Amino acid sequence: MHYHIIGIAGAGMSAIAHLLLDQGHSVSGSDLGHNRLTEGLAARGARIAQGHDAAHVVGAEAVLATAAARPDHPELVAALKLGIPILKRDDLWRVWSQQRPVVAVAGSHGKTTTSAMVALALRGGGLNPGFLIGAEVPDLGGNATWGDPAAPLVIEADEYDRAFLSLTPALAVITNVEWDHPDIYPSAEAYTAAFTSFAQQVGGPRRLVLGSDGPHLSDLGDLEPVLYGIEERLATDPVSCRLAPFDWTASGVTGIPGGGVSFDLWRFDRQRMGQRRMGVLELAVAGAHNVRNALAALAVAALLGVDMQGAVAALSSFRGSARRFELKGEAGGVVVVDDYGHHPSEVQATLAAARMRYPARRIVAYLQPHTFSRTEALLDAWPEACRDADLVLVGDVYAAREEGDVAALAQRLTERISAAGIEARYSGNLEASSAALIRLVQAGDLVLTLGAGDGDRVGMHVLAHRAEP
């Protein structure tokens, strides 16, 4: 079957394209530009067009459209005229979750890294899982593969446009629930309700792995979730949390030389009703949030009965995903790290990890706010999120699918952060922000670029300038 994909250069759509190619389908696609993802698809035989044109859909048997494509998109209009079926990603997710067991990883934050860790743990434990992840994962060799059809398919289950409600997972993870995507969910209550609905679609008791942070879901019925989280009291008193034990727990979370983190791993023995210390686990990635992600992956691996020693070894060597605390380089004494975090809680966790990983460096953060609706709805949460930064530069809003004044809202956000006693400056567009950072940084600094848009280019400009003789 011939699928044409609108927006094929994006992380999610390119991943779906790989799965379709793995299944023997032919794939074409279009996007405004080419990148590393489209180059990889072209090398596999996909036909990639730059720009959008009605002629691109001719010959396709189905058109798959990114959620960002507007109804008047020329290729969508052409597909309607030609009678070609138009699909969204969740249409394929629905089919795949009926074809094979799906492990769906949902949550407001941490979906990408947790999905990668789950797939890696299952692979280390002896399976050949499929996976569909919204970022390239070096340890997995890419962002998607069909794998063994008899093994689970790990899907990063995005809640945007309610896509994750198309899945009927055999097993699911919910990392946390914190209001996001106000353009889809008008209130925190509506957002949480969608996650509750998602949880109710899981295949049975003890098949839902639930993070301890964030508001608790209601109406879970007899699902009996497997809980995980960090509880430092276990380090000194293993019975201190007897009334509300997590099934998988970390304590003694400590940064280690080289940038990773170590922790004591505990597992609750339901027969003896007590915590059992499983030993010390070290991760190569920094931050308490990655400890939680690893706990979720271990819980999944145990529920699926894989070799746990192999799963632990695989997680210990995990190097992270693209644009998730990704080291971009060092030049002239300045280290540049890029992170996809664009929600205040994600930024707060990333800055905490940066402080743990680089305790002696001044942290200069460049923040590119993502969408007007999110920035406006969460405006009051940003000051606390930026506490670990020594200096915050706020660039123009990355509008994505929305419209508005990119500078005015960014300036309001800057003022809100400054009012909390944090040094913050409005820096303008990418070119102006790059120039501002180049003027401000000095040897010994850490530059951290934050956002889901194209703000990573700012950090690359800084590296290029510092590398000049």
- The DSSP bridge pattern shows strands 153-156 and 102-106 to be parallel
240 carries a ligand binding annotation = no
| Angle made by CA atoms 210, 215, 218, in degrees to the nearest 5 | 75
Half-sphere exposure of 262 (CA within 13 A, CB side): 6
88 carries a ligand binding annotation = no
Determine which one of 75, 136, 156, 346 is catalytic: 156
111 classed as catalytic: yes
End-to-end CA distance of the chain: 54
Contact 294, 117 (CB under 8 A): yes
112 classed as catalytic: yes
Measured between alpha carbons, how far is residue 173 from residues 105, 152, 299, 340, 446 in Å?
Answer: 5, 14, 9, 21, 33
414 carries a ligand binding annotation = no
375 carries a ligand binding annotation = no
Residue type, 201: Q
107 carries a ligand binding annotation = yes
Determine which one of 38, 66, 75, 111 is catalytic: 111
175 carries a ligand binding annotation = no
Contact 305, 289 (CB under 8 A): no
113 carries a ligand binding annotation = yes
156 classed as catalytic: yes
Determine which one of 38, 112, 350, 371 is catalytic: 112
Tokens of 123: 């692979």
Rounded to whole angstroms, the Cα distance separating 407 from 395 reads 8
Binding-site residues from annotation for ATP? 107-113
- Binding-site residue positions: 107-113
Catalytic residues: 111-112, 156
